[in-house]
Amino acid sequence: MTPSAPARADAPLPGTPFVAYRAGQLMLEDVALAELAQRHGTPLFVYSRAAMLGALAAYQRGLAGREALICYAMKANSTLAVLKVFADAGCGFDIVSGGELERVLAAGGVAGKIVFSGIGKTRAEIRRALEAGIRCFNVESLAELDVIDEVARACGRRAPISIRVNPNVDARTHPYISTGLKGNKFGIAHEQALAAYQHAARLTGLQVVGIDCHIGSQITEVAPYVEALDRVLDLVGAIEAAGIRIRHIDLGGGLGIDYAGDTPPAADALWAALLARLDARGYGDRALMIEPGRSLVGNAGLCLTEVLYLKPGEQKNFCIVDAAMNDLPRPALYEAFHRIVPLRQPAPGASATTYDVVGPVCESGDWLGRDRPLAVQPGEHLAVLSAGAYCMSMASNYNTRPRAAEVLVDGGEARVVRQREAVQDLWRGETA
């Protein structure tokens, strides 16, 4: 799919309400992106604080009047400055490693608002999370229940736990980011969940506090969420009939964003539908937890990159840029689409050439966009949009490439929140 023609001046680009051309310059909030590229170099990630808070506000509206905790799923983007935006807004955090726990605490997050998900928690991670006083472990196997019980008893504590149930619901998303089917590695099968709760209730080092469900990522429909909720509520009824109280219901995250004309429901509209179903089934009084990630940060960030060379070919024309798959791994991993636009708006009628936009990494999979009409020259800059989620957090040093710098924009102000790595940083700790 190819992007539409550049938006008219002063109009936000699709899916990115805080990115717009003004007087021919691409702006993020009130900051000219070309100036950032010149000042800080490229590749460069730039994030909008207003976009993050605007996305969060949709969830807050949808959950207004309910006992609910929004836990940002920080695997989407774990940069300290991003975490601080959400910590300052009162959010909790969904973590999947001990390292993520330490990042939340370093950013000023509250341990009592942290839920610890993930299928492979180590004893050391469990112990540290208990010592920090996290809110809940989302448990994904019977074996994990036993290990958390063992560690908690050794620490003289009771670990608050919620069991992640795999409801066998098809989220109709990319298979690599689908998590709620029987063939996925996550969670305990719906049919085995009651027995798992009964087992947990017998373990003296555990305190059952909730139930958890997460069916995937980049979901663009309401129906899979409603289906999953119904299956979870069926279980809540059976579990409580067995004498085990469920204090909170955690419905995970996974709401999609507009990458290429995608039309996910707005967060407040999604939650209106889910809350109506909760109320209709008699569970509207329960505390709620949710774990949005991509939908809070995905369209708040972009990556700036310089055009290095234009390489014509018999079958393909290539626009070679200085950003690569180590900076923006989603296209290589998922064949994902990101809109790519120039920082200076082309003149009306400017002649465009169709290019594959590719990076310098020595892999054929190193592409950022295919078949994109662009009117650009070497030395000019492009913006890869919708790059706030699963880009910097998944970036690597492949080909001994330093990771990019990051900038946070707030109105007309821009500050560096991560310095660009130096090449020498990459072998610190190694010996020859």
Secondary structure element (H or E) that encloses residue 382, with its range: strand 381-384
Using alpha carbons, select from 291, 298, 213, 212 the residue that is nearest to residue 253.
Answer: 291
CB 62 within 8 A of CB 271: yes
Q: What is the pLDDT of residue 97?
A: 98
CB 386 within 8 A of CB 26: no
CA 430 to CA 409: how far, in whole Å?
35
Give the mean model confidence (pLDDT) for residues 39-65: 97
What is the length of the chain? 432
Higher pLDDT, residue 13 or 104: 104
Give the mean model confidence (pLDDT) for residues 297-303: 97
Catalytic site residue 362?
yes
CB atoms under 10 Å from CB of 177, counted, come to 18
Q: Does 125 show up as a binding residue in the annotation?
A: no
CB 390 within 8 A of CB 294: yes
Cis geometry, peptide bond prior to residue 3 (ω within 30 degrees of 0) = no
pLDDT above 70 (res 179): no
Using alpha carbons, select from 306, 299, 307, 296 the residue that is nearest to residue 338.
Answer: 299
Using alpha carbons, select from 285, 297, 115 the residue that is nearest to residue 214.
Answer: 115
Residue 285, token pair as written in the block: 């009084």
- Model confidence pLDDT, tens digit, residues 125-135: 999 999 999 99
Q: Does 403 show up as a binding residue in the annotation?
A: no
3-state secondary structure 307-336: EEEEECCCCCCEEEECCCCCCCCHHHHHCC
Domains of the chain: 12-48+298-427 (2.40.37.10), 117-292 (3.20.20.10)
Q: Does 330 show up as a binding residue in the annotation?
A: yes
pLDDT above 60 (res 146): yes
CB atoms under 10 Å from CB of 67, counted, come to 11
Q: Does 390 show up as a binding residue in the annotation?
A: yes
Q: Does 291 show up as a binding residue in the annotation?
A: yes
pLDDT above 90 (res 271): yes
Instruction: Please tell me which residue in 71, 303, 362, 391 is annotated as part of the active site.
Output: 362
CA 40 to CA 407: how far, in whole Å?
9
66: confidence class by pLDDT, cuts 50, 70, 90? very high
CA 243 to CA 245: how far, in whole Å?
6
The backbone torsions φ and ψ at residue 209, rounded to the nearest 5 degrees and listed phi first, read -125, -20
Q: What is the pLDDT of residue 78?
A: 98
Q: What is the pLDDT of residue 142?
A: 95
Percent of the chain with pLDDT over 90: 84
The runs of H, that is alpha helices, within 168-222 are 193-202
pLDDT above 90 (res 171): no
pLDDT above 50 (res 174): no
Tally the C-alpha atoms within 13 A of residue 29's C-alpha that lie toward its C-beta. Answer: 21
CB 309 within 8 A of CB 378: yes
Q: With H, G, I as helix, E, B as strand and everything else as coil, classify residue 275.
A: helix
pLDDT above 60 (res 58): yes
Give the mean model confidence (pLDDT) for residues 4-14: 56
202: confidence class by pLDDT, cuts 50, 70, 90? very high
Q: Does 294 show up as a binding residue in the annotation?
A: yes
